[in-house]
Amino acid sequence: MIFWKTKRVVLTGGAGFLGRVVKAQLEARGCKHIIVPRSAQFDLRKTAAIRKLYAQARPDMVIHLAAVVGGIGANRENPGRFFYDNLMMGVELLEQARQLGIAKFVAIGTICAYPKFCPVPFKEDKIWDGYPEETNAPYGLAKKMLLVQSQAYRQQYGYNSIYLLPVNLYGPGDNFSWESSHVIPALIRKCVEARQRKDKYITVWGTGRATREFLYVDDAARGIVLAAQKYNSSEPVNLGAGFEISINKLVDLIVKLTRFRGDILWDATKPDGQPRRCLDTTRARLEFGFEAKVSFEKGLKKTIAWYEQNLL
């Protein structure tokens, strides 16, 4: 708690799904100076805007959560935008932090940075062993450059930046937009709306054979805050829950929890995305004592309840 009381933190993406929870956890630990830049005031792709932000905020630390992100459909439709916006934000935020002597930079990467056919569970030292899954590759590679930059800056300048790799997140306050949501909020919305309309079936992308791992947003935020306080190396660190579930079984579970009674139709003309995803979480446990606490079914129930109470 004492660690955070005097810290000034710039939290990019602090008004977003994950950012709001990170902000709340920092506040709970006594951090009184959290600066959340808004895109209307600061275009984080631009050097001048970042320098203005840093001059006004005078931070000791930057936690960079901001990202232009979406599900498979959004990635397929916006590969150029997802690459450029995410690359430029990361490169300039870290470079200006180094130039201005900001003590620490916490970079949030993505599981999309891993190779398409990475052995399961994904270990951090396998991150360079192949090209990412094609639909997410521009986004994944843009965020992966933060790892290169972090390690290069530590080697040349002795700059303290860290790089975290969270698995797919979910939880209350998630993005439920049809255009850009990820699989869990998209399925929850689809099932709840179909239940209300008394539809006889829903259609789901892919074959259902792909697997995923999911981390509840509160657990992810706790991992980020722990690493920001305790971890000081540029070796990448996975943040995950350490389990793997097929999309088939995920759909069955969400159908059950949302009380949808219809059938499931699979559209195999649509992509599955990466065949398998599951992280090795050993390094996070050993380096800063992080382990996920919220069970998957409990987290899903909370997420469904939030959606039904707030967005219906």
CATH number of the domain where residue 35 is located: 3.40.50.720
In-domain check, residue 70: yes
In-domain check, residue 136: yes
Residue pair 31/59 in contact (Cβ under 8 Å)? The answer is: no
In-domain check, residue 268: no
Residue pair 37/53 in contact (Cβ under 8 Å)? The answer is: yes
Residue pair 165/228 in contact (Cβ under 8 Å)? The answer is: no
Measure Cα distances from 152 to 9, 145, 146, 229, 233 in Å: 23, 10, 10, 22, 12
- Residue 264: φ, ψ to 5°: -115, 125
In-domain check, residue 304: no
In-domain check, residue 15: yes
Predicted local distance difference test score (pLDDT) of residue 125: 97
- Containing structural domain, residue 161: 2-170+213-243+276-293
Catalytic residue ranges: 139
DSSP strand pairing (8-12 vs 201-205): unpaired
Residue pair 219/171 in contact (Cβ under 8 Å)? The answer is: no
**Which helix (H) or strand (E) segment is 63 a member of?**
strand 61-64
Residue pair 112/273 in contact (Cβ under 8 Å)? The answer is: no
Beta bridge partners of 295: none
State the Cα–Cα distance between residues 281 and 238, nearest whole angstrom: 6
| Sequence letter at residue 84 | Y
In-domain check, residue 265: no
- What is the model's pTM? 0.94
- The length of the chain is 312
State the Cα–Cα distance between residues 302 and 169, nearest whole angstrom: 14
In-domain check, residue 9: yes
Predicted local distance difference test score (pLDDT) of residue 278: 93
Q: Please report how the helices 247-258 and 296-310 are oriented relative to each other, as an axis angle in degrees rounded to 10.
A: 50
**Number of domain units in the chain:** 1
164: number of Cβ within 10 Å: 24
pLDDT tens, N- to C-terminus, the chain (312 residues): 799 999 999 999 999 999 999 999 999 999 999 999 998 999 999 999 999 999 999 999 999 999 987 777 777 899 999 999 999 999 999 999 999 999 999 999 999 999 999 999 999 999 999 999 998 899 999 999 999 999 999 999 999 999 999 999 999 999 999 887 889 999 999 999 999 999 999 999 999 999 999 999 999 999 999 999 999 999 999 999 989 999 999 999 999 999 999 999 999 999 888 888 999 999 999 999 999 999 999 999 999 999 999 976
Predicted local distance difference test score (pLDDT) of residue 312: 67
Measure Cα distances from 97 to 67, 102, 147, 238 in Å: 18, 5, 15, 24
Q: Over the Cα atoms of the chain, what is R_g?
A: 19
In-domain check, residue 208: no
